[in-house]
Amino acid sequence: MSNPFLYVSETDKTEYLTPRVSLNRAVMAKCPTDGIEEGLDGKRFKDLFSPESIVAEMRRVSRYYGVDYSHLPDFLLPKELDKALKSEDVRYRQMAERVTQKFGNRLGLLLLTLKTGLPENRAARSDWDDACWDCWKNLDTVILLGGLASSRLGRRFKEQVQNVFDHAGVKPYNIVLFENGAYLGVMGLGQRMMEDDTTSLIFDMGQTYFKRAVLKKSGGIISAINTLDSLPSRYMKIDFEDEGDKLAFAYDLHNYILNIVSSTYKEASQSAQLSDQILISIANYTHSGILNPIRGGYAKLSLMGENYADLLNEQLSGELRRNIEVRLVHDATATALYFSDVPDSVCITLGTGFGVGFPEIIL
């Protein structure tokens, strides 16, 4: 059965993932099983499980156990939760166990919602037809990635997901955790899209960081990877009241990207013979060089022209005096490419939001 979330580009006949797949817009209209947590009906997936909701619960619960996190900013607390699970201080362990159990159960309920496809939940997702729900029902393996899926925290979440499915009497997904996945998108692009016996520059343009790497491929495999310092993502503002202000931010973001890519290429080419092809994983539902104009901080780049990759090709070729070809790939798809040997699977990144990618995609 074909994947209903994958479309074929009319431009180059490659497959691409559409925003239709988004789990951030999903709603658990009816909790798929009783006896786990009450009061969840009608809530959005991203409100039930996210770094923000976990941090809020940590701050709420910690005071009952005499744990003080007031000196730490929110973005550090998920890592502190993982540390607390193995703390020698019983107060920290008890606090962490309580929070982890709650959100592990919630993750299990969200996956169970997708697996069971109750009529109420189908009705709450008007852009999904039966084929979409059947896709989630028939998947065998769910690969969990991202900071919230790593280390002891990820293992506890996996245990709770199993418990939720057992409680409901439903056969669970095969849950696979993958730690240290910071450069999986880079590796996925290299494995599936680099020509053999070449050295290429690959970028991962996320909402927070701009990762850079030089990969060498020989004999059909990645034989060397040189990761460069990550740079902060800038000009990520999403909401604008004035279109002129939005366009100005788009130009600033474009120039920032252009400067990073060109300067990195010049630097890396001093020690390696680089391919003229540059691969970029981007936090946007892109295909054939075209950006989705609605979602995320990179969406405003669509104001720069119909095909953003073509614009980069033209300007980078002039700057570098080479015939540069840029390939843009949706970030979760780039990560999923790394797992192309895992059949009937989906990759879900547990980060700022839910990222979804299917390893079966043909690029």
CATH number of residue 202's parent domain:
3.30.420.40
Same domain, 250 and 116: no
Does residue 206 sit in the same domain as residue 337?
A: yes
Between CA 279 and CA 203 the distance in angstroms is: 6
**Domain co-membership, 158 together with 256:** no
Rounded to whole angstroms, the Cα distance separating 137 from 111 reads: 10
Predicted local distance difference test score (pLDDT) of residue 305: 92
Q: What is the pTM of this model?
A: 0.91
Instruction: Tell me, yes or no, whether 32 and 170 share the same domain.
Output: yes
pLDDT band (50, 70, 90) for residue 150: confident
* β-bridge mates for residue 175, sequence order: 142
User: Same structural domain for residues 222 and 317?
Assistant: yes
Residues 257-316 pLDDT 10s: 999 999 999 999 999 999 999 999 999 999 999 999 987 899 999 999 999 999 999 999
What is the count of structural domains for the chain? 2
Residue 182 has what pLDDT?
75
Question: Among the three residues 157, 177, 197, which one is the final residue of a domain in this structure?
Answer: 177
In the chain the first and final C-alpha atoms are separated, in Å, by 19
Report pLDDT for 1: 59
The residues, ordered by sequence, that sit 6+ positions from 70 with a Cβ below 8 Å of its Cβ are: none
| 147, 177, 207 - which closes a domain | 177
We report the CATH number of the domain holding residue 32 as: 3.30.420
Task: Report which of 201, 191, 198 is spatially closest to residue 218, judged by C-alpha positions.
Answer: 198
Confidence class of residue 26 from pLDDT cuts 50, 70 and 90?
very high
Does 245 map to a domain?
A: yes
63 alpha carbon, distance to own chain's centre: 32
Cα 248 to Cα 98, 242, 244, 308, distances in angstroms? 46, 10, 6, 16
Of the candidates 201, 251, 204, 197, the residue with the CA atom closest to the CA atom of residue 221: 197
C-alpha distances out from residue 244 to 232, 251, 254, 300, 350, Å: 24, 11, 15, 11, 34
Alpha carbon separation from 106 to 50, 124, 149, 225, 313 (Å, rounded): 10, 18, 14, 37, 44
Cα atoms in the Cβ-side hemisphere of radius 13 Å centred on 148: 24
Answer yes or no: do 171 and 190 share one domain.
Answer: no
Cα 329 to Cα 287: distance, rounded to the nearest angstrom:
7
Percent of the chain scoring above 70 in pLDDT = 99
Give the separation between CA 291 and CA 302, rounded to whole angstroms.
Answer: 6
User: Based on the domain organization, do 203 and 168 belong to the same domain?
Assistant: no
Residues 159 and 245 in one domain: no
Instruction: Report pLDDT for 194.
Output: 92
Domain that holds residue 119: 8-177
